[in-house]
Amino acid sequence: MNDNRDAITAPSRASKHLSGSDIEALAKLGALGVRHPVMQAGMTSASGPALAGAVSAAGGIGTLGLHDVSVWEEMIERTRARAKGNPISVNLLLPYTRVKHLDVVIRQQVPIVTLFWGDGKREIRQLRKHGVFVFQQVGSVVEARKAIDAGVDGIIVQGVEAGGHVRAEKRLDVLLPEVVELTSTLPVFAAGGIYAAEDAARVVGLGAHGVCTGTRFLLTPESHIHDAYREALLAADNTILTHLFGFGWPDLHRVVPNKATERWCRENGSIPGWLKMLNTSFSFTRKLVPMKSRISSIQKPSVPFFSPAMLGRGQQESLIDATAIYAGEQVGRIHDIKPASEIVAELAKGMVFRHEQ
Ligand SMILES: Cc1cc2nc3c(=O)[nH]c(=O)nc-3n(C[C@H](O)[C@H](O)[C@H](O)COP(=O)(O)O)c2cc1C
């Protein structure tokens, strides 16, 4: 464990005056050993031990993305080894989570879990019983209320500008204060387009205690994506919300347009009704197909079969035209690849909390 427990607040620059409940919320993160309330989002295969371990080693909350059960325990051990004694987190993407994933998290005494996409009541109860600190990412006030009622320890508020699968309909700056109103002493993290210190400072001003980003951490040497994916992100100037890459997970996601979306999506990202139905009818496959299967390797822009899998290291480069290039709406503001530790430090600079009134 980290002994630098009080370092989470730095009263040097005015950014946010803390109320009693803010102090309590921040103290909970400090007690976990988190030095900077900067969370790297779990992103399945894109956030493996190298990325999550580097973020945690830098004092942030590094999150191992959900991996197939057959490699899950080994991935957790490898992440922990890279985190150099700092706390790590793992992401349980609820539609894909199996009982074994949970069992391993508990056996390995992982200190922090983030949940996403759906009702996690049973998981929250089980994890908390074993002392795990549970965050849930939510996309609405209704969902936040359910998560709080289910007993979560922290909330991540996702705005509609987020990359990957998107639950929110409102922009972050609108939804965040609405959720903060409900939360009292729970730490609240903000997600969606938070890529620089000034973004972090803005959401702190709206009541957030921490920030969470996926897209900014994709553009690191440590993320487990193909270089062609990194290049597509650096070249991107817009994104669309679509259901296209929905085989097995037929819900809305934000991607950078490519040949596949040009072939099948209308300008607003929508897809033909029959394709949406086809994707929905195969959602039962998600707990049957191993997550490590390279199902995306057979995808082609011209054939209407598009899984949610991203283009990983070692895969064929041309698949960039046929796979989901998940990214946040603000991706055009990112122009460089930086080590994960620098991103943690940059975002932490924006989050300065003042104890004195
Ligand atoms: C490539 C990618 C994959 C993602 N996969 C997951 C996931 O597996 N689990 C999860 O909880 N969130 C996932 N997300 C969503 C993030 O939790 C978060 O809402 C989002 O990254 C915030 O927006 P930003 O990308 O603009 O920072 C993913 C996001 C991206 C960009």
Q: What is the pLDDT of residue 16?
A: 66
Please tell me the pTM assigned to this model: 0.94
Cβ distance 47 to 63 under 8 Å?
yes
Q: What is the pLDDT of residue 7?
A: 47
Q: Which atom of ligand 1 is nearest to the CA of 65?
A: 8
Q: What is the pLDDT of residue 12?
A: 36
Whether the per-residue pLDDT at 10 is higher than 80: the answer is no
Average pLDDT over residues 96-111: 97
Q: What is the pLDDT of residue 288?
A: 74
How far does the centroid of ligand 1 lie from the alpha carbon of residue 320, in Å? 19
Q: What is the pLDDT of residue 291?
A: 76
Which ranges of 151-226 does DSSP label H, i.e. alpha helix? 172-183, 197-205, 215-218
Average pLDDT over residues 220-249: 96
Q: What is the pLDDT of residue 17?
A: 74
Q: What is the pLDDT of residue 355?
A: 55
Whether the per-residue pLDDT at 25 is higher than 80: the answer is yes
Q: What is the pLDDT of residue 352?
A: 81
| Residues 113-164: tens digit of each pLDDT | 999 999 999 999 999 999 999 999 999 999 999 999 999 999 999 999 999 9
Q: In terms of pLDDT, which residue wins out, 243 or 184?
A: 243
Q: In terms of pLDDT, which residue wins out, 20 or 89?
A: 89
How far does the centroid of ligand 1 lie from the alpha carbon of residue 255, in Å? 11
Q: How many CB atoms lie within 10 A of CB 227?
A: 12
Cross-strand pairs, 242? 253
Q: What is the pLDDT of residue 281?
A: 86
Whether the per-residue pLDDT at 9 is higher than 50: the answer is no
* In the chain, where the domains are located: 16-222+338-354, 240-326
pLDDT band at 307 (very low <50, low <70, confident <90, very high): very high
Average pLDDT over residues 254-266: 97
CA 164 to chain CA centroid, Å, is 8
> DSSP states of 218-258 as a string?
HSSTTS-B-HHHHHHHHH----EEESTT-TT--S-EEE---
Nearest CA to ligand 1 atom 10: 42
Whether the per-residue pLDDT at 36 is higher than 70: the answer is yes
Whether the per-residue pLDDT at 171 is higher than 60: the answer is yes
| Residues 206-233: tens digit of each pLDDT | 999 999 999 999 999 999 999 999 999 9
> CA–CA separation, 183 vs 181, rounded Å?
6
Question: Mutate which of 112, 116, 223 to test ligand 1's pocket (most atoms within 8 Å of Cβ)?
Answer: 116
Q: Which atom of ligand 1 is nearest to the CA of 116?
A: 11
* Average pLDDT along the chain: 92
Nearest CA to ligand 1 atom 13: 43
Q: Give me the residue label for tokens 């295969």.
A: 45
Q: What is the pLDDT of residue 19?
A: 87
Q: What is the pLDDT of residue 124?
A: 98
pLDDT band at 13 (very low <50, low <70, confident <90, very high): very low
> Which of 49-53, 98-102, 258-262, 296-300 shows the lowest per-residue confidence on average (mean pLDDT)?
296-300
How far does the centroid of ligand 1 lie from the alpha carbon of residue 164, in Å? 5
How far does the centroid of ligand 1 lie from the alpha carbon of residue 14, in Å? 30
Q: What is the pLDDT of residue 8?
A: 56
Question: Mutate which of 93, 326, 347 to test ligand 1's pocket (most atoms within 8 Å of Cβ)?
Answer: 326
> Which of 18-22, 34-38, 141-145 shows the lowest per-residue confidence on average (mean pLDDT)?
18-22
How far does the centroid of ligand 1 lie from the alpha carbon of residue 6, in Å? 29
Distances (CA, A) of 137 to 145, 273, 335: 12, 29, 27
Q: In terms of pLDDT, which residue wins out, 34 or 20?
A: 34
What fold characterizes domain 16-222+338-354? TIM Barrel (3.20.20)
Nearest CA to ligand 1 atom 1: 326
> CA–CA separation, 116 vs 137, rounded Å?
5
Measuring from each residue's beta carbon to the nearest atom of ligand 1, which residues come in under 6 Å? 41-44, 46, 65-66, 91, 93, 114, 116, 137, 158, 162-164, 191-193, 213-216, 218, 310, 326-328
